């Protein structure tokens, strides 16, 4: 609407045009309040009132007044869209090539394949120290000629402040990997990945567990069922897979045992199910010892929590395991909305600045950064940096300013490529919008919250910033309104005030 207002009133005089532009930019929050009809209709079908919605569509370079603005200055709950703040701040403060390094220290001498002393692994916040990279770390230990550790394996996670977090406190789902608390030594997201592989001849599905957890009994197979009706037998794989997780009737209540009372539908073929371990405090020790023994290693002592002794810290580590670069890590964070990785990154900001990662210090650091790099006003209310929060708040206008700042910065390619592509990958792979492949958008979803924010390449060739925040009990039903807004943004006729 603001664009049409300008197009209909532009005169040939450059002074008059400049005056109009200045006036429009000054008054833009009051302009363009009429929503596109298709967006309005979708909100009405979802029974979401306009005053529960904040929308902003504007030129990515900030050269024009907004094409659409509705309640853009109102702070809203952004859900995972808040990850944009964390990831862009990290790119700017740490650099896209930044990587986490996990040092390993050896105390004592090695004789005949035995370490007569302790092995220390010091966590430094690596958000992607997954099972295969833990295996590589332990393989490098064996490469030092160590097959048996006479002492202990000591796991040091003191780089982050202790966080006493109840994994069920947010949404009552303690076994969802996204509810895992951050940890300076975060191993495999403190989760077990169970892979089910059906064997029609044996009429059962084998269960593979990654990583193996020391002291935990893990059921190696489950019977097959046809389709989803629970009937045993394997007469084919043409049935519906359905809710195979419910059919398994898994019991994770006992940290010392994982078992299944149900069956696995033969029609599901191979499936992988990640589950957060029921006792996160003991996960690291169980994972390290379980994997070490699976690799043929022996341990005389135990795997325990502790700190690297001062005398060892004064010496170079035997080796360090480096993470992928930040530019790669933020692709996992944004494309798949990985909450624990986002929190690891958030805490890393203060760890890098002051030697220990704390939420309070990271909040202060990001807010100061925001005031210096983005805007002295519209400072977001941060919590854990991931958006998995009921306290976090940010306005559509603030998000747009961040996206515009990033767009004209050298870091734009890294940030944009980390965002899901509509209808192509990540959390937008199943998008029903007609404009598939034309937008890089971060998504957000909580109970009563849906949101998107990012960049849209319009049919005219112009690049827009799009931000949409919905806070309402019916927010989830309003997703078609967000897709309608995306399609409307793409259908740009190219009419605009000359640059």
Domain boundaries, the chain: 37-97+325-490, 101-167+282-322
Residue 461 contacts residue 494 (beta carbons within 8 Å): yes
* C-alpha dist (Å) from residue 337 to 79, 83, 306, 332, 378: 10, 8, 32, 7, 24
Please state the length of the chain: 499
CA 381/CA 364 separation, integer angstroms? 10
Cα 70 to its chain centre, rounded Å, is: 28
Concatenated DSSP letters of 323-347: PPPHHHHHHHHHHTT-HHHHHHHHH
Of 389, 390, 367, 393, the residue nearest 381 (C-alpha):
393
CA distance 246 to 267: 15
Query: Within its chain, how far is the Cα of 317 from the centroid?
Result: 31
pLDDT digits (tens, 9 = 90+) for 377-403: 899 999 999 998 999 999 999 999 999
Q: Dihedral through CA 78, CA 81, CA 86, CA 89, nearest 10?
A: -100
Give CA torsion, residues 331, 273, 82, 40, to 10 deg. Answer: 110
Angle (nearest 5°) at CA 180 between 221 and 333: 100
The helix/strand/coil state of 172 is coil
Give the integer Cα–Cα distance in Å for 59 and 455.
10
Report the C-alpha gap between 266 and 349 in whole angstroms.
Answer: 47
Low-confidence ranges of the chain (pLDDT < 70): 1-33, 166-174, 227-239, 493-499
> Which strands, in side-by-side order, build the sheet including 217-218?
217-218, 257-260, 250-251
CA distance 154 to 123: 11
**Sheet with strand 463-471: strands edge to edge:** 68-70, 53-59, 463-471, 449-457, 439-446
Buried b (16+ CB within 10 A) or exposed e, 70-102: bbbebbbbbbbbbbbbbbbbbbbbbebebbbeb
Smallest CA-to-CA distance from 10 within 56, 65, 51 is with 65
Q: What fold is seen in the domain 37-97+325-490?
A: Beta-lactamase (3.40.710)
Amino acid 166: pLDDT: 66
CB 393 within 8 Å of CB 380:
yes
Q: Using an 8 Å Cβ cutoff, are 358 and 125 in contact?
A: no
Q: Among 467, 176, 152, 487, which residue's Cα sits nearest to residue 292?
A: 152
Please identify, in words, the CATH class of the domain defined by 101-167+282-322. alpha beta
Measured between alpha carbons, how far is residue 329 from residues 24, 87, 100, 381 in Å? Answer: 40, 9, 10, 24
This prediction's pTM: 0.88
C-alpha 231/C-alpha 225 separation (Å) is 5
Q: How far apart are CA 343 and CA 350, in angstroms?
A: 12
User: Which value, in Å, is the radius of gyration of the alpha carbons in the chain?
Assistant: 26
């Amino acid at each position: 609407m603001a664009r049409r207002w300008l197009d209909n009133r532009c005169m040939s005089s450059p002074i008059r045009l400049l005056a109009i532009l200045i006036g429009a930019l000054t008054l833009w929050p009051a302009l363009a309040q009429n929503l596109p009809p298709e967006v309005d209709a979708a909100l009405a079908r979802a029974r979401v009132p306009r005053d529960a919605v904040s929308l902003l569509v504007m030129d990515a370079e900030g050269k024009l007044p907004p094409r659409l603005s509705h309640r853009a200055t109102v702070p809203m709950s952004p859900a995972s869209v808040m990850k944009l703040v964390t990831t862009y701040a990290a790119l700017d403060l740490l650099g896209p090539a930044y990587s986490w390094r996990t040092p390993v220290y050896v105390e004592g001498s090695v004789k005949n394949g035995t370490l007569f002393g302790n092995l220390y692994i010091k966590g430094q916040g690596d958000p992607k120290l997954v099972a295969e990279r833990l295996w590589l770390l332990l393989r490098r230990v064996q490469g030092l000629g160590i097959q048996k550790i006479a002492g202990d394996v000591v796991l040091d996670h003191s780089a982050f402040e202790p966080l006493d977090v109840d994994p069920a406190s947010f949404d009552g789902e303690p076994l969802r990997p996204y509810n895992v608390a951050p940890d300076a030594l975060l191993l495999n997201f403190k989760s077990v990945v169970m892979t089910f592989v059906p064997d029609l001849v044996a009429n059962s599905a084998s269960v593979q567990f990654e990583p193996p957890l020391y002291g935990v009994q893990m059921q190696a197979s489950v019977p097959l069922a046809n389709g989803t009706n629970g009937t045993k037998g394997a007469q084919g794989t043409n049935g519906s897979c359905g809710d195979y997780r419910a059919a398994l009737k898994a019991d994770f209540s006992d940290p010392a045992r994982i078992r299944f009372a149900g069956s696995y539908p033969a029609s599901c073929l191979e499936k992988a199910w990640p589950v957060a371990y029921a006792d996160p405090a003991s996960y690291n020790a169980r994972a390290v010892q379980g994997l070490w023994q699976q690799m043929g290693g022996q341990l005389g002592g135990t795997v325990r929590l502790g700190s690297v002794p001062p005398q060892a810290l004064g010496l170079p580590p035997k080796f360090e395991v480096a993470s992928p670069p930040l530019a790669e890590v933020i692709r996992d964070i944004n494309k798949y909305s990985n909450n624990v990785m986002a929190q690891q990154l958030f805490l890393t900001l203060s760890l890098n600045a002051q030697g220990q990662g704390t939420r309070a210090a990271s909040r202060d650091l990001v807010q100061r950064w925001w005031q210096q790099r983005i805007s002295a006003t519209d400072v977001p209310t941060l919590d854990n940096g991931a958006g998995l929060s009921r306290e976090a708040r940010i306005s559509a206008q603030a998000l747009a300013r961040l996206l515009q700042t990033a767009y004209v910065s050298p870091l734009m390619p890294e940030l944009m490529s980390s965002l899901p592509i509509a209808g192509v990958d990540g959390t937008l792979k199943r998008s029903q919008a007609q404009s598939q492949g034309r937008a890089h958008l971060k998504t957000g979803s909580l109970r009563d919250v849906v949101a998107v924010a990012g960049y849209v390449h319009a049919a005219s060739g112009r690049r827009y910033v799009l931000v949409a925040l919905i806070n309402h009990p019916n927010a989830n039903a309003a997703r078609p309104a967000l897709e309608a807004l995306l399609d409307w943004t793409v259908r740009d006729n190219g009419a605009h005030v000359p640059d």
